[in-house]
Amino acid sequence: MAKERRRAVLELLQRPGNARCADCGAPDPDWASYTLGVFICLSCSGIHRNIPQVSKVKSVRLDAWDEAQVEFLASHGNDAARARFESKVPSFYYRPTPSDCQLLREQWIRAKYERQEFIYPEKQEPYSAGYREGFLWKRGRDNGQFLSRKFVLTEREGALKYFNRNDAKEPKAVMKIEHLNATFQPAKIGHPHGLQVTYLKDNSTRNIFIYHEDGKTSMSYKIRIFIKIAPSERKAGWPRPQQCQGHREIVDWFNALRAARFHYLQVAFPGASDADLVPKLSRNYLKEGYMEKTGPKQTEGFRKRWFTMDDRRLMYFKDPLDAFARGEVFIGSKESGYTVLHGFPPSTQGHHWPHGITIVTPDRKFLFACETESDQREWVAAFQKAVDRPMLPQEYAVEAHFKHKP
Cα end-to-end span (Å), the chain? 72
Q: Model confidence over 71-105: pLDDT tens digits?
A: 999 999 999 999 999 999 999 999 999 999 999 99
pLDDT of amino acid 202:
80
CA–CA separation, 259 vs 40, rounded Å? 28
What does the pLDDT look like over 197-233, one tens digit per residue? 999 888 788 999 999 985 333 333 333 323 232 333 3
| pLDDT at residue 216, as a whole number | 30
Q: Give CATH for domain 1-122.
A: 1.10.220.150
Domain residue spans in the chain? 1-122, 124-213+244-280, 287-404
Query: Could you tell me which CATH class the domain 287-404 is placed in?
Result: mainly beta
What whole-number distance in Å separates Cα of residue 182 and Cα of residue 127?
Answer: 14
Can you tell me the distance from the alpha carbon of 169 to that of 346, in angstroms, rounded to the nearest whole number? 58
State the pLDDT confidence band at 396, using cuts at 50, 70 and 90: confident
> Architecture of domain 124-213+244-280 in CATH?
Roll (2.30)
What CA–CA distance (Å, rounded) separates 293 from 327?
11
Beta bridge partners of 401: none
pLDDT tens-digit map of 296-355:
776 678 999 999 999 999 999 999 999 999 999 999 999 999 999 999 999 888 899 999
Q: Is the pLDDT of residue 180 over 90?
A: yes
Residue % of the chain over a pLDDT of 90: 76
What does the alpha-carbon distance between residue 139 and residue 366 come to, in Å, rounded to a whole number? 31
Structure confidence by residue, pLDDT tens digits, 109-159: 999 999 999 999 999 999 999 999 999 999 998 888 999 999 999 999 999
Residue 296: its pLDDT value, please?
Answer: 76
The pLDDT, as a whole number, for residue 214 is: 52
Q: Do domains 124-213+244-280 and 287-404 have the same CATH topology?
A: yes
What's 77-110 look like in SS3?
A: CHHHHHHHHCCCCCCCCCCCCCCCCHHHHHHHHH
Residue 151's pLDDT is 97
Indicate the pTM of the whole model.
0.86
